[in-house]
Amino acid sequence: MLMNIQPSQAGTVESNDILIILNPAETGSGIKIDLTSPVLKKYGSQIKIVIQEVLNGQGIVDAHVSANDRGALDCTIRARMMTAIDRAKLGEEVQG
């Protein structure tokens, strides 16, 4: 089942963390990821895959993710994504 989400964010711009800003997107527009990272050349594609995986795992197929990475490991990226998604869903319930 597809999920309606509210704008949300999680994480920080401290070293080894990542700031995720999650925004809803129109149905059918897919996942768009804007990534800035000091390790873009070496890990950019890997970071995007992780973000994509977490979104798909949570049934989100349309979203705009703005990710400001500061050298986070994959486990951190997953955790921040999960929190952002939880907050995005929470927003829906509160307003619901």
Partner 1 sequence: MINAIGREIPENIAGIKNIKPYSGPFAYTPAGRLTGPTIILNKPRSEKVLKSIEQAIDATGLKDGMTISFHHHFRNGDYVLNMVVAAIARKGIRDLTLAPSSLNNINEEIIPYIEQGVITAIETSGARGKLGKLLTNGKMKKTTIIRSHGGRARAIECGELHIDVAFLGAPACDTYGNMNGVEGKSACGSLGYAMVDAAYADKVVAITDHLVPYPLYPVSIPQTQVDYIVPVEAIGDPKGIASGALRISKDPRELLIAQYATTAIEYSGYFNQDYSIQLGSGGASLAAAQFLKEKMKQQGITASFGLGGVTAPFIEMLDEGLIKAIYDVQDFDIPSIQSMKKNANHQEMSASFYANPHNRGPIVNQLDVVILSATEVDVDFNVNVITDSNGVIMGAVGGHQDTAAGAALSIVVAPLLRGRLPMVIDQVHTVCTPGETVDIIVTERGVAVNPRRKDLRDNLREANIPLMDIEELRDIAYEFAGKPDPILVSDEVAAAVEYRDGTLIDVIRKPL
Here's the x/- map for partner 1, 47-86, by CB under 8 A: it reads as: -----------------------xxxxx------------
**What kind and span of H or E run contains 6?**
none
Residue with tokens 């990475």: 69
**Rule CB under 8 A: is residue 42 a binding residue for partner 1?**
yes
Q: Which stretch binds partner 1 (CB under 8 A): 23-31, 39-47, 55-63, 86-94?
A: 39-47
Nearest alpha-carbon partner for 40 in 68, 63, 17: 68
CA distance 92 to 53: 22
Nearest CB to partner 1, comparing residues 26 and 41: 41
